[in-house]
Structure 1
Amino acid sequence: MTYLHDCGIIHGDLKAANVLLDEHYGAVISDFGLSRTKNTSASLNRSKANSFVVGTDGFMAPEMLDDDRPSGTTMKTDVFAFAITVYEVLNDADPIWVTDNDQPMHERVIERQVRIGNRPKRLDGIPDDVWSLIECCWHQEPDQRPAFPKILALLEPYQLPSPSYPSGPSDPLPASTNESVSESASPPVSVSSSKLVPEPDPSSQNIPRVSSFAPPPSTPTSKEVESLPDVSRRLLQQARKGDPDSCVNVATIISNNKLATDPLWIQAAQFLQTAANQKHPEACFHLGWLYFAGIGLGQNDIDALVCWQETSRAADPILKSIATFMMGWLCYLGRGTSLDKQAGIELIRQSKADGFPLGEECMDTSSPVGSDSPAARRFFELCQLGSDRDWLCKHLAAVCFVGGLGTAKDQTKAVAIFEELANQDYDPSQHWLGHCHKNGWGRPINHASSIKWYTRAANQDNSYAQNMVGRCYEEGWGVTVDRCKAVEWYRKAAEQGNPSGQNNLGDCYEKGIGVPKDSLTAVQWYSRSAEQGNASGQNNLGLCYCTGNGVSRDYFKAAAWYTKSAEQGNSAAQYALGSCYKHGVGVAQSIEAAVLWYRKAADQGDADAKTKLRALGR
C-alpha cells in the first residue's frame, strides 16, 4: 500500500479477501477493479441513480457514507480499510461487526455504526501499540489518519524477514521497501510489571519502593525505514544504535507539540524505552507519563511507578520533584501499588521545592499556588498532554489553572473541569469544587454549593473534605451552626491522619467547642498535627508549652515550635517568636531578631506586630 500510494494509486477496496499469499507466504494485493489514480475522478464510485457506494460494507470510511456530501475513495479511505483489514486478520476472519450477542450486523446497521463513530470492540491479545495504531487508522476524521509510510515505520518492529523471492521482474516489492524490512520480528522490550516488588526504605518504612529496570533491550528499530520528521540522519543513526541521549533527543523532537493521539508517540515511546532501560533519568521520567496516561503504549500504573521510582533517585531537582509528586498520587489512590493515603501524602509533601511549590497544596489550600518556573511549566504541559486520557491529569491541570501554576490563571476553566470530574464522583475534584464555591474561584461565593460538594467528597472518605465539612458546621457556612457535628467531622479527618483535622479537633478540646474542655487531649491532637508539619498545629503546640496548658511549661520547646511554624509563614507564630526574642524567653534575647519576626508578621497584616514595631521605634 505504501508503494501504491507512492505511485499515486488508490486501491479502493482493500480487505483480507483481496490480499493473496504467494508460495512464500508473501502478501500480494489483488482486485484493482475499484482502483484509480489520485487525479482520476471518484464520481464513478457512487451510482447517482441509487446513491449506493461501491465498496465492501464495514470497510468503507465514514466520509464515504455521508448522505449529504459523500466522498469517493481516497488515500485516507484506504487507510481506514487497512485498519479494518488488520482487525479482520487478527480476528481470524470471524465476523467483524457483531451485536452484543455476537450476531453479524445488517449492512445498514454497520453503516450507521461507522457514521456515528462506533468501531469493533478490542480483541484480546493485541499489543497496545498495534491497537493504538488501528484506532488512529480508523479515526472518524480523515485528516487524523496516518499515511502508509508512517504506518510502515510504526509496524517495523513486528516485521518478519522478507521472503526469498526469485530474482527478476516478478519481484513484487520495490527494492527500497525490501531494504527497509527489519531483521528481527521481536518488538522492543518493555519494563516488566513483575519487576515491581516491595523494598524496605531506610528513611521511611511506609513508602513503597520498586526494583530497577530489566537489562537494556535491543534498539527499537534495527534499520531505518524512513527519516523521521525534523530528525537528522546522524542523530537517528545514533538513537537506533541505542545511545540513550540520542534516543531521548529523537523522542523529544518527533513528539514536540503532538496530540496524545498522534501515532508518532508510539515511535517516541520506543526510543524512550531504550534509554529508560539504561536508567536515563529523563527517559524514565517521560516514559512514566506515557505509561500513566497510555500515550504511545498501553496504560500501566505499575510501569509508571517503576519509571518514576527510578527518576526519584536522579540528581535533577525538577525531574525528582515531579516524579516524587506523581508517586505520591499513585500511593494515595492505590494505583500500581497498595493504597496508602498517608504514605502518598508524605511523598507529595516531600516533592515540594523552590521550583515546584505545589506539594500538599494540591490537596487542600486556602491560597492557590502559582509559579512560572520551568518545573511548573513542564508539569502543566504534561498534565495537559494526558488530560484526555486520565482523569488525574485533567484534575491536576485544573489545579494549575486555579493558581496559575505553569500557565495563565483561569479559574473559570478550572471550575468547569472540576464540575465535569466531580459529577463523575472523583472526590479530589469534588473537594476542590467545594473550595471554588466557598472562595469565589471562578464562581460567585456560594456556601450552600460548597458544603454540598465538600459533603460528597467527605462521604468518600476524603479527609481534607471531612475537615472542611467540620469547618462549615463550626462556622455556619451554608449550614446551621452545629459544633457537635463539627467535632464529628474533625474526628473523622483526624483519625485518617489529616493534620488540619487534628489541629481543629485539638482546638475544640482546648476551648470546649462541641466537647468538654480537655487540655491533655488537645495537646495530643496538636502534637500529632505539628509533627506532620502543620503550621497551625505547631503554633498551637508552642502556645501550650508557653502557657503550660495541658503540658508542663517549657519555654525552650515553645520557642522551638514557634520557630517551625513561623518559618512556614504563620503570622501568629511570627508574632509570638518576636516576643520570645524581645524578652529572651526560650531563646537568647535579641531586639534585632524580635524586629525581624515582628516585621514578618506585620507584613501579613498583624496589628499587634505593627504596634510592637512602633513601640520599638521601627
Structure 2
Amino acid sequence: MAISTQGDVAPGHIWRGQRVAIKSPRTGQEESFLREVEIIKNLADRHIIQYYHYTVEEPLELIMEDAEGGDLNSAISRLQWEDKERIAGEIAHGLSYIHSLGIIHCDIKSYNVLLTKKLEAKLCDFGSAMTITDKKDKKPCDGSPGWTAPELLEDKTAYSPESDIYALGIVMWEMASSAAEPCNRRQVLEEKLEDVPHEYRNIMQACWDLDPKCRPKARAVLFLKYGCSLREIQEQLARLATGDADVQDKNLHILSQFVAGGKCDASMDTHANDLNELGRMRLEHQDFLKDRSNAIELRLEPADLRCDVAKAVKALEYYRSGLYEQAQDYARQVSHHPVGSYVLGEMYSQGHGVTKNEGEARRWHLSAARGGHAVSQHLMGVSCFKAGNHIEALKWYREAAEQENSDGQYKLGVMFYYGHGVPPDPIEAVHWMQKAANQGHISAATGMGRICLGQEKYPEAMRWCRKAAGDRISQYNIGLMYRTGWGVRPNYTTAIKWFQRAADQGYGQAQYAMGTMYRYGWGVKEDLDKTMEWYKKAVENGDPDAANELAMIVLETNRRTRLYESNQNLG
C-alpha cells in the first residue's frame, strides 16, 4: 500500500483485464481527491499516470495505471546516469504538457514521480494541482517542504509553472546526490556534487534560481530525454542538412519519424512515439527548423544514402515534392522498410506516377502497417471498416492509437462508442477520443463535445466544442447551448452567430436552427420568407425536422389561403 498526499494507493488490482492501481481518499481529504479526479481525467500524455475510471458512490475510488517500477525516490539508488538524465527530461515532458493546459502541479517531488518496469517516468498525485483560474481567485496551495519554491514560502498564491520547475530542479538534485530527500535550500546549494554531467548540472542549477523569471521552461529541460542538448541536436540536424557523410543513422531515423510518422526500429537507439514531440519542439525553436515544410525540403546528398532509413526519407521527400518517378525508385529500393512501403501504398492509392490500383495500395499499406507504421495502421483500419470487417478494423485502430496516432485514437473511440466490433463501452470511447482531442484532433474534440452534451455536462461540452470551433458540428452545438442556456447565459445573438457559421458550411441542422430563429423572432426580426429559405436549404442537406416543418408551414399557408378566398367569396 502506497501513501499519497490525499489518499492511499493499492497497486496490483485487475480491472477489465488489465493491471491497475486503486486510490482511495483518506478521511477529510475527499475534496482534494475529487479535485484530482477532475484534473487527471482530462489528461492524456505518456508521462502522466493514466486515468481509467472513478466511482461516484461510496467508497470513492480512482482507478488508474499501475506503474510497477514504484516511485522515483525509492529507485534513485539503482539508477544509472543515462536513466537520471532521461527521467529528468520525461518529468519535464509531463510538466510541459500540463503547463500548456494551464495546470500547475504544485507538488512535484520524487515521491510523485512513478516509474514503469522500463523506468519510464510518469507524474502522479494531482490533488494539490492548481489552474490559472485558481490563481486568479488567489486560492492558496500547499506543496511539500524541501521542494517548495522560495516565492511560495512568502505567498502561497504565487504558484506558477516556474514553481514547478524549481521543484523539478530539486528532484534533479535528488537524483544527482542520491539523497533520501532535501532538508532545506541551504543543503541543496552547499552540497558538492561530483561526476555530474555538465549539461545536467547547468539545467539543474538554473531550475532552482531564486528569480522565477530566470528559470528555464519545461521544454528546455525536455531535451535531456534524448541524452543530448538542444545545441547538440541542432548541430546534428545541421550536418544532416548539409550532407555531411558522418551523420549517424539514428539521426536520419529521427527525421524519418518526423516526416513520415513511422515507428522506430528496435535496433535504433531512439525513443518510439516521439514524432509529435519532435515536431512541436522543432516548430518552437526557429533555429532548429523554421517550419514543418522544411523537414520535407531537407536534401540528403548521395553520400548519406548508405542506409535504408535515409533512402526511405528520400522516397518520401520526392513523393511529397510531386517527383513520383524518383519517389518510386527509392521506395522500391527500400520496400521492406515501413516508410518505403507506405510511399508505394500512397502512390497506388492516389494514382500518383502509377496506375491507380486499390489492391496494390492495400498490399503495400498492409506491409507498412505490419512494420509498425502508425499512419498505415490507421489506413488499414479504415480499409477494413469499409469492407465491413469491424474486428480487424478495431485491431488496426488500436495499434495506431497505442503509437499516439490521433486518427487511430479517434477512430478507436468511435468503435467503442457505437459498438463496432466490440460491445459498446462509453468509458473506453471517452478515453480514446480524449487522448486524440488532447493532441488537437478536431473531430475527436467535436465527439467529446457531443458526448458531454448528451451527459448534460455543459461546461465540459462547451470547452470541447470551443477547442473544435472550426468544425461545423461544434459550431452548431455552441449555438445550441447559447440558445437554450445550457451551461451559459442564454444569448440569441451569439447563438445566431454560431448557427450562421455552421449553416454557411452546409450543415443541415444549423440551417434548420437558423430557420427556427427567423420563424419565432429569436434574436432577429420574425421573417417567414427567410424561415422558408433556411428550411429549404436544410432539406437539401437531408435534415428531416426541416422537411416536416416546411411541410407544416406549406399546409398552414394553403389552409389560410383557402380560408381567405372562402371569406372573400362570401363577402
Taking structure 2 as the reference length, the TM-score comes to 0.44
Larger proportion of strand? 2
Larger proportion of helix? 2
